[in-house]
């Protein structure tokens, strides 16, 4: 793999590598710290923030001035890390499109494996009145899609550089084995830890009317996200496929950068259209 042609706003991510995978005690300690920091971080000033317990999960509720439905935003983090401040900030940006946002802190590795988190997220989705959107980035995209499959009335989906299925085999997974932020080696580690003996339902896109799928150019998950979008189109889903260029997995950690704000605006345009 040659030098990645990253967008100039994302150059700092070129050197980012996750060092803690394979060290469960370190992950636990870091997760505790991250939860404290995220709870202390603020949403956008125009968005009201509340916290409550729903379906055995701590849920941050982000409330806009004018609501027209509910969006559940399921954070990524390899099923191992809790939500971090930038994910909470972006969730509050989604609220400005007129949605009450539920932002759950679901059970994580190493103590909790599939399907525990999915069962709680699916329960939250089932019990949420006026649910309009299930959203998720990375591992959260997997939970959002699987939870939607369990609902009789499907909400819109917003999947951002999503994990779609275990141990996918495709070109991007083969090519990006040492990319910044996320790579295929880490992806294999994640699935080995998370699945164990738990069965994963085959993806079904039937009944999903609208979806937004975003991929990152230099991301092992790129091709499975694109494939999911194409399969939804075949099922008759109205799909917006946003294939971002010069990007790596989780690039929106730099959410203040102009380029990233432009990509987030694509998401907001989709949400406003619902």
- Report if residue 199 sits inside a domain: yes
Please report the pLDDT score of residue 23 as a whole number: 63
Please report the pLDDT score of residue 22 as a whole number: 61
Please report the pLDDT score of residue 274 as a whole number: 98
* DSSP result, 156-200: EEEEES---STT--SHHHHH-SS-SS--HHHHHHHHHHHHTT---
Helix (H, G, I), strand (E, B) or coil at 239: strand
- Report if residue 1 sits inside a domain: no
Cis peptide before 51 (omega within 30 of 0): no
CB 146 within 8 A of CB 122: yes
- Report if residue 25 sits inside a domain: yes
CA-CA-CA-CA torsion sign (73, 48, 35, 124): negative
- Measured CA angle at 125 (ends 211, 132), to 5 deg: 40
Helix (H) or strand (E) holding 247: strand 238-248
Q: Comparing C-alpha atoms, which of 99, 70, 76 is closest to residue 88?
A: 76
Residue 4: HSE in the Cβ half-sphere, 13 Å Cα cutoff: 25
Please report the pLDDT score of residue 205 as a whole number: 95
Q: Comparing C-alpha atoms, which of 47, 49, 50, 51 is closest to residue 64?
A: 47
Helix (H) or strand (E) holding 103: strand 100-105
- Report if residue 242 sits inside a domain: yes
- Report if residue 2 sits inside a domain: no
- Report if residue 38 sits inside a domain: yes
CB 249 within 8 A of CB 182: yes
Residue 215 structural domain: 8-272
Please report the pLDDT score of residue 1 as a whole number: 61
| Spatial distance between the Cα atoms of 16 and 105, rounded to a whole number of angstroms | 24
Please report the pLDDT score of residue 29 as a whole number: 76
Please report the pLDDT score of residue 25 as a whole number: 67
Q: Buried (b) or exposed (e) across 87-122, using 16+ Cβ within 10 A?
A: bbbbbbbbbbbbbbbbbbbbbbbeeebbbebbbbbb
Q: What is the DSSP letter of 17?
A: -
Burial class (CB in 10 A: 0-12, 13-18, 19+), 51: exposed
Please report the pLDDT score of residue 21 as a whole number: 62
- Report if residue 3 sits inside a domain: no
Average pLDDT, the chain: 95
Please report the pLDDT score of residue 168 as a whole number: 94
Residues in the chain: 274
Please report the pLDDT score of residue 67 as a whole number: 96
Please report the pLDDT score of residue 247 as a whole number: 99
* Count: domains in the chain: 1
Instruction: Tell me the CATH number at 22.
Output: 3.40.50.1820
Please report the pLDDT score of residue 211 as a whole number: 99
- Report if residue 197 sits inside a domain: yes
Q: What is the pTM of this model?
A: 0.96
Name the token pair of 190.
């994640």
* pLDDT < 50 regions, the chain: none
Please report the pLDDT score of residue 32 as a whole number: 86
């Amino acid at each position: 793999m040659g030098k990645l042609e990253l967008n100039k706003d994302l150059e700092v991510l070129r050197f980012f590598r996750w060092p803690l995978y394979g060290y469960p005690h370190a992950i636990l300690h870091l997760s505790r710290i991250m939860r404290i920091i995220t709870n202390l971080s603020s949403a956008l000033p125009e968005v009201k923030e509340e916290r409550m317990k729903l379906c055995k999960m701590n849920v941050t509720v982000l409330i806009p001035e004018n609501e027209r439905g509910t969006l559940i935003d399921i954070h990524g983090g390899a099923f191992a890390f809790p939500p971090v401040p930038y994910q909470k900030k972006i969730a509050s940006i989604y609220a400005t499109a007129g949605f009450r946002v539920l932002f759950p802190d679901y059970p994580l590795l190493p103590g909790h494996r599939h399907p525990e988190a999915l069962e709680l997220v699916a329960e939250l989705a089932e019990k949420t009145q006026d649910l309009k959107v299930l959203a998720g980035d990375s591992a959260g995209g997997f939970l959002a899609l699987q939870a939607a499959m369990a609902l009789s009335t499907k909400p819109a989906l917003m999947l951002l550089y999503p994990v779609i299925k275990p141990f996918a085999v495709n070109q991007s997974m083969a090519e990006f084995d040492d990319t910044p932020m996320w790579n295929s080696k880490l992806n294999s580690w994640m699935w080995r830890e998370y699945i164990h003996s738990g069965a994963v339902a085959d993806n079904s896109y039937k009944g999903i009317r609208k979806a937004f799928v975003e991929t990152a150019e230099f991301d092992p998950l790129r091709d499975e996200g694109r494939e999911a979008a194409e399969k939804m189109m075949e099922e008759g889903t109205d799909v917006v496929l946003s294939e971002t260029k010069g990007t790596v997995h989780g690039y929106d950690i730099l959410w203040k950068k102009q380029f990233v704000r432009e990509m987030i605006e694509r998401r907001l345009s989709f949400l406003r259209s619902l």
